[in-house]
Structure 1
């Protein structure tokens, strides 16, 4: 790959009005991309109805976007060098905006899936490139604050999606979850072309020098893995031939991708940057952060809707206090980093606080927990995520130099997305499997000769008799109601298990974080790509 002309450290630093505009533009783009990963969740039923799609078909609306995201993220650094960062960023916004319009106008499910895939290709580039643009627009001593500003978008975005989507679906119709991107995308495109600057790059690669096989191996590895994670539980994992085949494709794709990138002169992804100890540890911690962030964002709305009977909008609004807390924490963390507080101590504190949140959720979960019981645990979650995101990001990149920083940022972005995919897949599987196990354990406690069981059945039976059902019909319905109560309780116990396991995972991370080598706490992003 042509050598990058390393610029003076401050050559891309902006001040005053220009920096404010560039920061707002990059944050808007990062928010657009992340909100779109979760906003569709609450609209899936409406999409199914209007497009005549099955449950399996409609799941592809999420899967296609996620696959495109994780394929493009590790390639963003290379693509920026090829086309120029400003041009690549603007083109990505345009692709994202145009396909948002096309998604809203899709006439059938597979049109929508195809447009969502292309939208994901544009959106995946926005995350890492926005992070790079924000970071390098700030002087060296303020780059901790720059990461905090970027982190507000990344952390708050996933929790804004469900309530925003719920409002748009309830008051308008599902295409508006895509149309809302259009005015923001148009404004962001113009601001990017007017204000964002590109670093100076060396000579571009010729078409014959491009790592086409690397792209093929990366796409087969990441794409197959993402499909397996998204569809594994609903297809009963390895009892399904498609899951088996794609798992094999993913493993071989990974092996061939690693081999290709290590031997090719112009690799699409520079794996050698992982020789850096802090980046290796940082990518693992970022994976776990994605696991906890996206996993808990996924599990709470599902629990409140399926067990507590809340609407999609109410379930989404529940997460707002957590998002606000994280947003308020970000500038505080940025200031602490500027004053020399070690990132590893902040990150260790974040993991410990996330354990407290998980244990608290474990303690308050019942089949009829009220919203007031969730408020303080979710505020605690917000504090924990605030302490985790910025320190882990700066730790990962702080001992890298020059062009390696862009590669490192791409790795951390990809691992955060994959962590979320693994988290959702594992949580979905555990809820199903643990729920079955708890149900098996609960049923022997329902002894037909037990006085309390008989009393409960008689109360249910009398309720149905009062509604006009016969004695036999009322008894059958009473047994069904009791069966439903058992299923509900076993599902709650499964969610409780999920939270305690998540908490233990985060607690185990604390000693590992404390062993990380101390970085400078500042990121020299003058030549991040």
Structure 2
């Protein structure tokens, strides 16, 4: 049966026969999943990369920083490029750019070439997430929007979760270059499937043609420049701030000032431009604003907790990268099972219920992590992360669905670009804040414990004597045994201090989940309808 789509100008346009929605979903998910995996897969291969390109520990971080900066610069411009060149063309071009960048990363011969090719990867990856989200929202009917967002959320969250595990396995068993080469066949498959099965709806084409004419006539070059400078400065500040001691560094202070000035000027420019490159007026809709901000806030806490636990396992419990990745796998499996279920049940219950329960479960899981010790085993860790997996699934699907529930179809790329950008920045802020707090809390905890390690305390003398006797029993002389006992006791104290720091951070993360819970009350989703797909309306000037 044919259908009629209405263009923004009111002209009825016959719609094409719809392609199977599951083939469309599979086609566009390849790109998003690869981009999400590549945001974390490189981290476990840093030692091998550093050796291969002859870089220092500080220099090799640019391989990640360059990728992230390029990604955030493209995300909000996705809709702009889609209007000028077509949504499908932009997706295919960015997927091709990502695949080419991946192949070149595997061939990198020095640090500048690696950073450059990672930036190429990032420019390609930046448009994949928001474009897939918009395509799925335009492909699935209104009553199945939650299922569409469940599939999208699976790709966004599963990628960073399996990235370290996959990267650890590849590095342990193959050459480091295969963490990049593996993207090539998958990307090529995704490219040809997207070219074959993904179609741009006629009403979206018509809306984009009208907007493109206006954009070409009033090209917002000032907005593009301010956006790129502001986001690049902000992301560099968040990525490199800790290593430069934040505002103690003139370089970081300058970056913060440039980012602040550029972003304020960008907002003012976009609100007055004839044809703004980014449609900030979407934030006039309270549902989109509250859903997007809450999602960014949740993502910042989630990314921080996902960053802390692998560090705890590897640095204090002695897990390898592969072991820690496998221990975290149950969280990913729970999310894979739960997200489609939440997508099915979404229309039967208020979204606030799902998000509230998700917050509670995730907070409970993180609270359980605040009781980890050096004796904690894999079973104890799995209980906490499975609770988190259930909570993540119950939060992310409703948040993604509600935030876009009142955005017109032809404005979905604008909205998804903004929501993807805020999620990325929120995650970067969470990582920066918690990494800084971890360093400070560890120093404070070690200093507090050191006060109790004075040589006149009987328990300290007893412990030293036990260690000294043990070393002498292994054949060491008295002087060497005493020196090694002192170093061992110092190491034990340092490890306990680190445990206390992690416990404090996990408790803080759990409290943050409780603190943000009242924000759920501001989310108001429109009532579900079972009629034909329609273009929702919000009072937004376009």
CA deviations over 1:466-525 (Å, ceiling 9, x no partner): 444432222222111111111111111111111111111111122220233333358978
CA distance in 2, matches of 1:336, 1:98: 40
1:354 corresponds to? 362
Contact 1:345 1:514 in 2 (8 A): no
Aligned partner of 1:222 in structure 2 is 231
Distance 2:26 2:190 in 1: 9
Q: 2:503 aligns with which of 489, 496, 501?
A: 496
After TM superposition, give the deviation of residue 527 of structure 1 in Å: 9.6
Q: Unpaired segments of 5 or more residues in structure 1? A: none
8 Å contact 2:238–2:432 — kept in the other structure? yes
Q: Distance in 2 between matches of 1:522 and 1:475?
A: 77
Q: 2: distance between equivalents of 1:520 and 1:179?
A: 46
* TM-score, with length taken from structure 1: 0.94
Cα distance in 2 for partners of 1:172, 1:329 equals 33
Pairing partner for 1:464 from 468, 471, 476: 471
Cα distance in structure 1, aligned partners of 2:178 and 2:516: 41
1:10 Cα shift?
A: 10
- The CA distance in 2 between the partners of 1:13 and 1:373, in whole Å, is 52
- 2:408 counterpart SS class: coil
Q: Which residue of 2 aligns with 1:76?
A: 78
Distance 1:478 1:8 in 2: 84
Q: 2:64 maps to what in 1? A: 62
Question: Structure 1 residues 515, 315: closer, same or farther in 2, change over 3 A?
Answer: same
Separation in 1, partners of 2:525, 2:457: 63
Q: In terms of mean alpha carbon deviation, does 493-502 or 132-141 score higher?
A: 132-141
In structure 2, the partner of 1:398 is: 405
Output the CA distance in 2 between the equivalents of 1:406 and 1:527. Answer: 15
Change over 3 Å in CA distance of 1:137–1:455 after alignment to 2: same
For 1:324 and 1:150, the matched residues in 2 are separated by 16
- Do the aligned partners of residues 6 and 313 (structure 1) sit closer, same or farther apart at CA in structure 2, a change above 3 Å counting? farther
1:248 and 2:257 are equivalent in the alignment:
yes
1:519 pairs, out of 519, 526, 542, with: 526
Q: Distance in 2 between matches of 1:325 and 1:360?
A: 17
Give me the CA root mean square deviation.
2.1
Shift of residue 212, structure 1, vs aligned partner = 1.6
| Alignment correspondent of 1:450 | 457
Paired residue for 1:426? 433
- Structure 2 residue runs without a partner (length 5+): 1-6, 538-542
Counterpart position of 1:342:
350
Q: 1:389 Cα deviation (Å)?
A: 0.4
Aligned to 1:209: 218
Preserved contact between residue 398 and residue 522 of structure 1 (Cα < 8 Å): no
**Matched residues in 2 for 1:456 and 1:446: separation?**
11
- Counterpart position of 1:435: 442
SS of corresponding position for 1:319: helix
User: What are the within-5 Å matches in structure 2 for residues 204-353 of structure 1?
Assistant: 204-205=212-213, 209-339=218-348, 341-353=349-361
Q: Is the 8 A contact 2:290 2:522 kept in 1?
A: no
Equivalent residue number for residue 88 of structure 1: 90
Structure 2 length-normalised TM: 0.92
Cα distance, 1:132–1:12 mapped onto 2, change above 3 Å: farther
Which has the bigger relative contact order, CA under 8 A and spacing at least 6?
1
CA distance in structure 2 between the partners assigned to 1:266 and 1:40 by the alignment = 39
